[in-house]
Amino acid sequence: MKPTHPYSDPVDQLARMLLVRAYEDRIAALAAAGPFPASCPSAGQEAAAVGVVSALGADDLILTNHRSAGHLLARGADPGRLLAEVMGRETGYCRGRSGSLHISAKELGVVLTSTIVGGELSLAPGVALARSLLGRPGIVTCFFGDGAACEGIFHESINLASVWNLPVLFVCENNEWQAYVHRRETMLTDSIAAHAAAYGVEGRSVDGNDVAAVHAAALAAAAQVRASGRPFLLEARTYRARGHLEPDDQSHVDAGELAHWQARDPIALARERLIAAGQLDLDGFARLGAEARARIDAAVEFAVQSPYPDPAELLANVYA
Amino acid sequence: MLTLTPYEAIDQALAEEMRRDPTVLMFGEGVATKRRALSDEFGGQRVRNTPLAEAIIAGTAVGAAATGLRPVVDLLFAPFLCYAMDAIVNSAGKLRYVSGGQFAFPLVTLAMTGGGWGVGAQHNHNVEAWFVHSPGLKVVMPSDAADFKGLLKTAIRDDNPVLFFVDLGLLHTPGEVPAGEFTVPLGQAAVRREGDDVTLVAYGKSVAACQQAARTLAEQGRAAEVIDLRTLKPLDEATILASVRKTGRLVLVHEASRPCGVGAEIAALVAEQAHDALKAPIVRVTGPDAPAPASFVLEQAFTPQADAIVAAVQRLLG
């Protein structure tokens, strides 16, 4: 089920977005039903994740953060192994040592995931430096949020990547929320892409809920990074449709704001566009959704049936 | 034998390892400017100046280490590590474990500390115990030129993140260094002087204070054994315990402040595993729980001196 990269078929992209949504919906349901490990949902941000990841090549590396399910699934991660990781099972991508918050999958090129806000930004230039000095192909894509853009390390990272000519595609998923604080309270400007100019880097904002727009912008940005060997800052303007951490009733979120963004749901936008273009009908859409949910059913079953790690291996891999 | 200062020994170790392994590189604030011979030999790709931004220096080293390079970074003074803590502690120290073993982090972080230069508390702060307390890291603090070279070479070859603390007071003190290729293993203490009456355990320049104290004690007919830890993590527990079982008395000496310091850990280790051998209470001679002063007079008062060690031993031996 691992897609080839890049993938530009809009129906494939919609199917991938539906898989992310089905995954997040299932985790929300499990979290609402009772004790379940904490996770930070990416629902509402599917177009940003799929739009960017589908634009990357097989040799490109991805650094992500605690809100990573969209990036991992867009890259072709097995939802069973993701859920197993969330549930602390040995079959998870990190053998149950990570849980949901810092899942890396080196085999997919998703490396060094950090849940410290801005942590991934501190690591990305070094990953790009290694690729450059070792003559390996591919660029480095680093996903972070508007919260991380308020950390000093964002500015240090983009500055160093610029000064050292490192092939890093910085992707800010500006989802309007920084844990429990709205972006309005923390920034006076609206655009994070505008920061790029201060470091001699090109920046661009794109509608992060329009998967086609994100994909086109990411393809262009990645091509520029590849050709120039220099960083680029792409900002996807999107919205965190669920709370910071499941479960969350979002009682602190303005109802008007939620309604505004629900009307701009990235999956509904993609569906309407494909139907209008005659590339999909309602039955086809229903079928894609049912397939995604069936995959998640099987993934939950796999995770639940998977063994827990052996406590005798508590101390494995502290040191190399 | 060669006669080198630790500063020169560090340069030699870096040059030899960079010649040996093309994935070794070095960067930091002024590295290319100040280590001119390295930069001339290995060029601007492998010896790099950086912005004055410790968090991204450390983060870049961690990212590069996980994906194929073996970086050495110079963060200059140990208190500057505060800006670099996330990359070193949360990323280098944890992401191997957290990822189920997908990554390794072969990197060395150099940082200077300790009294002697009157640089004051924001350049002189012996923070080594912070890193001993953090999983996934190794911590080294040599006391002489030969160990600076041999331990740094081993640290560069190690597949784990190593904090390499450089005691400022030692940096320009010449010492003998074996000619040719040699390394010193991590996790192995050195018995600098043998004795039966009391064990003195120290690291960094406190080793010299212990040696001086041991000479004074010898004149009084007391035989002190001096153990130089060299590596603080992994700790050479066996050498410490064997010595205490022989002498029955233990004095722990370090310039770092007392609370939760390396001395506290060793005292607990000995209490747990060699209590029956102790003939007297364990004593710590350490820096105080205070910021380091700049004034030379106060700095000397802050730093454990040989006479304080002698006095501690005399109290123990009655």
Q: How many CB atoms lie within 10 A of CB B185?
A: 12
Is the ipTM above a cut-off of 0.90? Answer: yes
What is the pLDDT at residue A248?
Answer: 86
Quick check: B214 and B193 in contact, CB under 8 A?
yes
Q: Which CATH class is domain B2-177?
A: alpha beta
Which residues make beta-bridge pairs with B283? B251
The full set of domain ranges for chain A reads: 10-304
Averaged over B216-228, what is the pLDDT? Answer: 98
- Confidence at residue B249, expressed as pLDDT on a 0 to 100 scale: 98
- Does position B118 have pLDDT exceeding 80, yes or no? yes
* Contact status, residue B147 vs residue B184, Cβ threshold 8 Å: yes
Half-sphere exposure of A210 (CA within 13 A, CB side): 9
Structural Rg of chain B based on CA atoms: 19
**pLDDT tens per residue across span B127-161:** 999 999 999 999 999 999 999 999 999 999 999 99
Q: What's the whole-number mean pLDDT along residues B79-91?
A: 98
Catalytic sites of B, residue numbers: 54, 123
Whether A20 and A83 have beta carbons less than 8 Å apart is answered as no
For B83, nearest residue in chain A (alpha carbons): A153
In this complex, do A159 and B95 lie within 8 Å of one another by their Cβ atoms? Answer: no
Q: How far apart are the C-alpha atoms of B278 and A105, rounded to whole Å?
A: 51
Peptide bond into A6 cis (omega under 30): yes
Contact state of A126 with B71 under an 8 Å Cβ cutoff? yes
The residue count for chain B: 318
Determine, for residues A123 and B159 on separate chains, whether the beta-carbon distance falls below 8 Å.
no
Do B190-317 and B2-177 fall under one CATH topology? yes
Q: Out of B59, B69, B135, name the one closest to residue A153 (CB).
A: B59
A152 at interface of B, judged by CB pairs closer than 8 A: yes
Say which amino acid occupies B28: G
Tokens 């300790």 map to which residue?
B114
* CATH class of the domain comprising B190-317: alpha beta
For the CA atoms of B102, B103, B104, B106, the dihedral, rounded to the nearest 10 degrees, stands at 160
Q: What is the reported pLDDT for A2?
A: 58
For chain B, the maximum distance between any two Cα atoms, rounded to a whole number of angstroms, is: 61
List the Cα angle A315/A62/B74 in 5-degree steps.
65
Mean pLDDT, residues B270-281: 98
pLDDT along chain A (320 residues), means of 10: 81 98 96 89 96 98 97 98 98 97 98 97 98 97 97 98 98 96 93 97 98 98 98 97 89 93 97 97 98 98 98 98
Rounded distance between C-alpha atoms, residue A52 and residue A215, angstroms: 6
Are B50 and A160 in contact by the 8 Å Cβ rule? The answer is yes
Token representation of residue B98: 């957290």
Interface of B with A (CB under 8 A): 23, 25, 45-46, 48, 50-51, 53, 55-56, 58-69, 71, 86-87, 90-91, 95-106, 135-136, 138, 159-160
In CATH, what number does A10-304 get? 3.40.50.970
* Domain regions of chain B by residue span: 2-177, 190-317
Long-range contacts from B313-317, C-beta under 8 angstroms, 24+ separation: B313/B197, B313/B198, B313/B200, B313/B213, B313/B217, B313/B222, B313/B224, B313/B249, B313/B251, B314/B220, B315/B283, B316/B198, B316/B249, B316/B251, B316/B280, B316/B281, B316/B283, B317/B197, B317/B198, B317/B222, B317/B249, B317/B280
Q: Regarding beta strands A61-63 and A140-145, do their DSSP bridges make them parallel or antiparallel, or are they unpaired?
A: parallel
Q: What is the DSSP letter of A63?
A: E
Burial of A278 (C-beta count, 10 Å sphere; 0-12/13-18/19+): exposed
